Amino acid sequence: MVSDGPTRVVVAGVREEAGDGAGEGISLLSRRASLIAHCLKTTKPRSKLLLLDAKDAFSKRGLFLEGWEALYKDIVEWVPAAKDGKVVRIDAKTLTVETELGTIHKAGVLNVIPQQSAGRIAIDSGLADASGWVPIVPR
């Protein structure tokens, strides 16, 4: 972020639907968004942070939404999949993303979080299941 004027930061969580998000731990998108929002508030307070999310729910959603409302009300906007938050196309040259319903968002800073899964070695060795993760048996 070089200029002194407001910056439009777009964080896009590109991941497949997998459950309701309730047991998946705190999402990478929400943690990253909170860090970026704090940075913007302290260094570029007129900037906007648009969170395009391919899911409708994530762990601790209520707490994050409450915190963003209290601390970053004029900065953070979270757009879940049901409200056209699912990104289907990314153009790094123009810093634009397109959502499932065809909405184009232009960013000053674009941060894309790819779908997460187990490491290639776990997948190639057959340890990962169809979800892309290695199942565990808690004891």
Q: What is the pLDDT of residues 43-68, one digit of tens each?
A: 999 999 999 998 898 888 999 999 99
Residue with the bigger pLDDT between 116 and 130: it is 130
d(CA 50, CA 14): 14
Query: What share of the chain has pLDDT > 70, as a percent?
Result: 86
Three-state secondary structure call for residue 132:
coil
**Backbone region of residue 138 per phi and psi (left: phi > 0; alpha: psi in -120 to 50; beta: other values):** beta
Mean pLDDT of 85-113: 92
Structure tokens at 28: 């990478």
Give pLDDT, residue 22: 42
Q: What is the CATH number of domain 8-124?
A: 3.50.50.60
* Percent with pLDDT over 90 in the chain: 58
Strand order, beta sheet including 104-106:
87-91, 96-99, 104-106
